[in-house]
């Protein structure tokens, strides 16, 4: 009979180091907070270093071990520097959460090759670069580990026009997750993805609230949100902590036999 492990031990991340990219705010900060609550020392890696330092200070005040570092995930030199800083500050890199991303809305006629490539550089190449260098540390130190990639329901089903570049990048994240899981599995490194639906962050709140734009644009925006909400089986937008709880599951021993998968967290949008 398999050894029984108490639930508290399965969820505990005590003694582990976790890196969260895009960790200064929104979903990234919510994930970092849950990982820290479970005992991990966390590094908030963000292109906005001042915001990352502020958020890390807030976590420290709560009794958590939290640090900050600037990182442009699309720049390999920046990524290698961040990983080195993480190893030094945290003592180990056991968990990587690839959360940093951009989602500009651009219609095909307006999109240049540079626009398209920028989205891919941050959302897809950035995920690859952080995974490459963090997993190298994990393999070198033979500690195993967990990599969690933030994909999107857009990887499975485009929900709105003007999101082609974002959709392509997140579709790539899904397949990157599967490929990395296969390659890194022999090193006891699990790689999974989370596909959020509509999550109420400050960015989303700004995008759906009345603001700049013609009356026609605002009317169309409200109609789009209403149509989106009709399809939500649970009848509400998600919160950042809804994603953070799933990330904690994927980072912990609760998911020790799970790899190469994508967990959809969308309030039932895709099933409607």
Q: Which of 103, 166, 257, 269 is catalytic?
A: 166
Q: Is 103 a catalytic residue?
A: no
**Quick one: tokens of 253?**
């021993």
Q: In whole angstroms, what is the distance from residue 26 CA to residue 17 CA? A: 20
Cα–Cα–Cα angle for 18, 80, 11, rounded to 5 degrees: 10
Residues in the chain, overall count? 272
With contact defined as beta carbons under 8 Å apart, do 251 and 35 qualify? yes
201 φ, ψ (degrees, to nearest 5):
-105, 175
With contact defined as beta carbons under 8 Å apart, do 71 and 21 qualify? yes
Catalogue the active-site residues. 166
């Amino acid at each position: 009979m398999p050894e029984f492990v108490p639930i508290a031990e399965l969820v505990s991340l005590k003694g582990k180091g976790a890196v969260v990219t895009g960790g200064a705010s929104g979903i990234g900060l919510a994930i970092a907070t849950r990982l820290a609550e479970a005992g991990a020392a966390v590094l908030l890696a963000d292109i906005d270093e001042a915001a990352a330092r502020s958020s890390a200070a807030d976590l420290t005040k709560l009794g958590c071990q939290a640090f900050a570092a600037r990182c442009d995930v699309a720049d390999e030199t920046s990524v290698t520097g961040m990983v080195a800083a993480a190893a030094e500050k945290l003592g180990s890199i056991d968990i990587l959460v690839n959360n940093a991303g951009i989602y500009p809305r651009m219609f095909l006629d307006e999109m240049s090759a540079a626009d398209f490539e920028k989205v891919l550089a941050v959302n897809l190449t950035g995920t690859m670069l952080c995974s490459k260098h963090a997993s190298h540390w994990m393999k070198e130190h033979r500690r195993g580990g967990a990599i969690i990639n933030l994909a999107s329901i857009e990887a499975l089903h485009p929900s709105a026009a003007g999101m082609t570049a974002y959709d392509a990048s997140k579709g790539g994240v899904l397949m990157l997750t599967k490929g990395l899981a296969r390659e890194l599995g022999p090193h006891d490194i699990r790689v999974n993805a989370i596909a959020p639906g509509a999550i109420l962050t400050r960015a989303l709140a700004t995008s759906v609230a009345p603001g700049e734009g013609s009356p026609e644009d605002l009317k169309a925006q409200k109609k789009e949100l209403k149509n989106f909400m009709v399809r939500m089986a649970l009848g509400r937008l998600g919160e950042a902590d809804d994603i953070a709880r799933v990330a904690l599951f994927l980072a912990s021993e609760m998911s020790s036999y799970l790899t190469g998968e994508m967990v959809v967290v969308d309030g039932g949008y895709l099933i409607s």
